[in-house]
Amino acid sequence: MEAQAINPHFSTTLNSINPNFLAKIFPRSPTRVSCKSPNLSFVPQFGTSLKKGVSLRSSCFVKAKMGCDGGDELGEGVGRKKLAVFVSGGGSNFRSIHEAILDGRINGDIAVLVASKAECGGANYARKKGIPVIVFPKTKSGSEGLSPHDLANALRKCKVDNILLAGYLKLIPAELIRAYPKSILNIHPSLLPSFGGKDYYGMKVHRAVIASGVRYSGPTIHFVDEHYDTGRILAQRVVPVLPTDTAEELAARVLQEEHQVYVEIAAALCEERIIWREDGVPLIRSKDDPDKYS
Ligand code: GRF
């Protein structure tokens, strides 16, 4: 069955049902979702209809546990979400998300900025904008920074629904991942699973991309698990890698896409438009057409 053929009522109803209950009614085996995508472009763009590329048999979508309480399927009537953004550097993604919030493009607010360095560009920008800053993890001297336990408590106190990592270089502790299941996103500047992992950060990523000879690169947004860059992929954008590119030129081209895609995804997250396919792949439901996913 094609995605377009899903009965909207059926889909709406599923989305408002407790996932545990759904698991009982739809046992794993007969409810497979299969992807046959001969006609799909290399990377589907946001909002692309899945009708040609994806066939859904006995479809069963389960709404993501995004930390808040319900709302309808397009995000209308959904309460504003509270976000925590984590940075280690300049924070240009953080700024573009903050600007989109001020413009009304994202149904949420940044409750707190978490920085691995108290004096980084992102932290300084947050202070100027009146956004509280937490330093995490503890500095080597121990004079600043919270423990994982205290961080989780602080985020709970701020009533944070979702966490967006935006250039945060430290590994997220398991305690925080357990406290925020399916609620933490990261942006990485390559097309994962290529050029990801502990040693791939900053210009190293772009140098490796150029050296490999691949012709395309671009940002990936993924859910965060206990390892670097291995969580479920939610969105990707593609840019060309040109024959004369330096790492800096490629980084700038990728970063431009990052600013757009992270805002779009943060908007979808805050409107509760992230849907989990039965096999564990997260999809984004289009705002304009609830039968379209990307
Ligand atoms: C971005 O390239 C992002 O993909 C990576 O770190 C960089 C952060 O840039 N995770 P900025 O601090 O948002 O400018």
Query: Which CATH number characterizes residue 170's domain?
Result: 3.40.50.170
- Which of 153, 163, 160 shows the shortest CA–CA distance to 184? 163
Mutate to test the pocket of ligand 1, among 85, 172, 222, 255 (most ligand atoms within 8 A of CB): 255
d(CA 82, CA 68): 10
User: What element of type H or E holds 206?
Assistant: helix 203-212
Q: Would you call the peptide bond into 137 cis, given omega within 30 degrees of 0 as the criterion? A: yes
Contact 185, 165 (CB under 8 A): yes
One domain, residues 10 and 143: yes
Assess whether the previous peptide bond of 193 is cis (omega < 30° from 0): yes
Q: Give yes or no for residue 90 CB within 6 A of ligand 1.
A: yes
Per-residue pLDDT of the chain (294 residues; tens, 9 = 90+): 323 322 332 232 233 333 443 333 233 333 333 333 333 333 444 445 555 545 332 233 343 333 333 334 444 678 999 999 999 999 999 999 999 999 999 999 999 999 999 999 999 999 999 999 999 999 877 788 999 999 999 999 999 999 999 999 999 999 999 999 999 999 999 999 999 999 999 999 999 999 999 999 999 999 999 999 999 999 999 999 999 999 999 999 999 999 999 999 999 999 999 999 999 999 999 999 999 999
Q: Say how many Å lie between the CA of residue 155 and the centre of ligand 1.
A: 22
Atom of ligand 1 nearest to the CA of 121: 12
Residues 70 and 7 in one domain: no
Q: Report the domain count for the chain.
A: 2
Q: Do 228 and 104 share a structural domain? A: yes
Residues 26 and 151 in one domain: yes
Query: First CA to last CA across the chain, in angstroms?
Result: 17
User: Could you give phi then psi for residue 179, rounded to 5 degrees?
Assistant: -70, -25
Ligand 1 within 6 A of CB of 121: no
| Residue range(s) defining the domain that contains residue 112 | 3-32+77-275
Among all residues, which ones are annotated catalytic?
Answer: 188
Indicate the pTM of the whole model.
Answer: 0.78
User: Quick check: helix, strand or coil at residue 110?
Assistant: strand
Other beta carbons within 10 Å of 155:
23
Both 87 and 177 in a single domain? yes
Give the integer Cα–Cα distance in Å for 238 and 139. 37
- H/E element, 49: none
| SS3 of residue 178 by DSSP | helix
- 182, 241: one domain: yes
Amino acid at 26: F
Co-location of 162 and 24 in the same domain: yes
Instruction: For residues 82 and 165, state if they share a domain.
Output: yes
Atom of ligand 1 at shortest distance to CA of 258? 4
